[in-house]
Each structure stands twice: as structure tokens, then as C-alpha cells.
Amino acid sequence: MTTGAIADAAQFFRAWLSDPLRVASVIPSSVALAEAITAEISPATAPVIELGAGTGVFTHAIIASGVPEEQLALVELGSDFVRLLQSRFPVARIMQIDATRLKDIEPFGGIPAGAVVSGLPLLSMKPRKVMAILDGAFRHLRPDGAFYQFTYGPRCPVSRVLLDRLGLKATRIGGVLANVPPAAVYRIRRRPDRSARATHASRNGGTGCPLA
Ligand SMILES: C[S@@+](CC[C@H](N)C(=O)[O-])C[C@H]1O[C@@H](n2cnc3c(N)ncnc32)[C@H](O)[C@@H]1O
């Protein structure tokens, strides 16, 4: 482990001690998990929104996938992590807000994102909160855009009921045994009929948002 990684682990642990429900893990995600959750990201995916960026493990991987830092919006609630992210990613758009307020922000002046990469602890959140996060995220995504989420649980952390309600489909795209604890990665997309409706709505002057 490098000195930087040890310092990150120590900061993460302190953040967990001060707010265990928000941070939801005692150490940052592994590089292996960061690679798995960004496996489908390419320069063409830009711009990208990251939720719950923490110390920036996924952020580094998104940039390594070819997304320019200025095409990245980082949403993080914890001021401890926000300060670190600002020093590490000075060109990214860093927003210290609750991810449930995603629908109220416009990180790229109306240009839709190709992906939302989430490090949020969805499993420990109430369904109403998860719904607000997904609704807000899909307002910012292109019709073919994807929401990437990891989980330590045995199934997708977004319930079937919620997926059905929002017209979304989840697919498990990877598993990382080398992470502590082992994790799985899910891709969540609009169901084809929904994205067809969204495209139709935007062509006809609508919001283009199937969840509005
Ligand atoms: C499990 S940690 C993941 C951090 C980092 N992405 C990683 O994988 O190491 C969860 C992160 O989400 C942030 N977070 C939790 N709830 C949030 C919310 N409602 N809005 C924005 N960020 C939140 C926490 O502060 C923390 O940085």
C-alpha cells in the first residue's frame, strides 16, 4: 500500500466513524472495483456524473477511461471528502449536495450525460430516497445512458418494484471478489419502450424525461 493509499484509508475510516450511515464502508473501494464499475466507460460516454465520490477511487478510473476531467461532475455530501476532491480534481465540477437533489442541478448546461457512476450506499437508504436519486439521475442521462451501481449485497440494491415503477432494467455486469467485502456491479438502463418514448418526447419539444 502506498503512503497516499494509507492516508486515504485513514481519512475514510475517520469519516465512517463520524457518520457511519452516510459513508457505509470502513475503507475506500479497491482499484479492481473501480475498474469493474467503469469497464463500459469510454471517451464517447462524456460527460459523466459521479455520485458519492469519496476519496476519488472511481473518479481516477473514469478519467483513465478517457473522460476529460472537465467533463466530470462529482456529487458528494461530506465536506471532508469535498475538500479532498477539490484539491485532487481541480477542473471537475464538484457539487456538495445530497444526491436526492440531483434533479435541481444542471452540471453541464443541459448537455445530457452518457453515464452516472454511483458509489452511494443505496442499500442503507429508504426507497423514497433511492427513487429520488434514480429519478434525478435519469433526467440527466441520454436515452441510451446508463447508471452504474455497485453493491455488497447478493442482488441489485434497487428493488424490482422501484425498477418497474421507473421503467428501468438492471443487469449484473461484473463481480469483484478482490474487493473488501466482495462486490457486484449493476448497469441500470431505461427499458427500450421508455427510451423510445423519451426520444419521441424530446423530438416533439417535451422534456425528454420519461420519469417527469
Ligand atoms: C461507500 S462510500 C463510496 C466512496 C467511493 N466512491 C468509494 O467507492 O470508495 C459512499 C460515499 O457516498 C457519499 N454519500 C452518502 N450519501 C450521500 C448522499 N445522499 N449524497 C451525496 N453523497 C453521499 C458518502 O459521503 C461517501 O463518500
Q: How far is the CA of 42 from the centre of ligand 1 (A)?
A: 23
Is 64 inside any structural domain? yes
Ligand 1 midpoint to CA 49 (Å): 13
Question: Is 212 a member of any domain?
Answer: no
Sheet strands side by side (includes 183-190): 93-95, 72-75, 48-51, 113-118, 141-151, 183-190, 168-176
Q: Which of 28, 33, 32 is nearest to 6 (CA)?
A: 28
Which pLDDT score is estimated for 2? 84
Residue at 211 is within a domain: no
For residue 208, tell me if it sits in a domain.
no
pLDDT of 193 reads 75
What Rg do the C-alpha atoms of the chain give, in angstroms? Answer: 16
The β-bridge relationship of strands 72-75 and 93-95 is parallel
16, 22, 104: which to mutate for ligand 1, most atoms within 8 A of CB?
Answer: 22
Q: Reduced to 3 states, what is the DSSP secondary structure of residue 43?
A: helix
Q: Give a yes or no: residue 184 inside a domain.
A: yes
What pLDDT score does 205 carry?
41
Per-residue pLDDT of the chain (212 residues; tens, 9 = 90+): 788 889 999 999 999 999 999 999 999 999 999 999 999 999 999 999 999 999 999 999 999 999 999 999 999 999 999 999 999 999 999 999 999 999 999 999 999 999 999 999 999 999 999 999 999 999 999 999 999 999 999 999 999 999 999 999 999 999 999 989 999 999 999 998 755 454 444 444 433 333 33
Could you list the residue range(s) of the whole structural domain that residue 165 is in? 3-203
Number of domains in the chain: 1
CATH code where residue 180 lies: 3.40.50.150
170, 212, 173, 169: which is closest to 193 by C-alpha? Answer: 169
74: nearest Cα among 141, 88, 209, 64: 88
Question: Is 58 among the domain residues?
Answer: yes
Whole-angstrom distance, CA of residue 181 vs CA of residue 184: 10
Task: Kindly give the number of the ligand 1 atom that is closest to the alpha carbon of 28.
Answer: 9
Q: Is the dihedral of CA 68, 71, 74, 79 positive or negative?
A: positive
Q: Is 78 a domain residue?
A: yes
pTM of this structure: 0.91
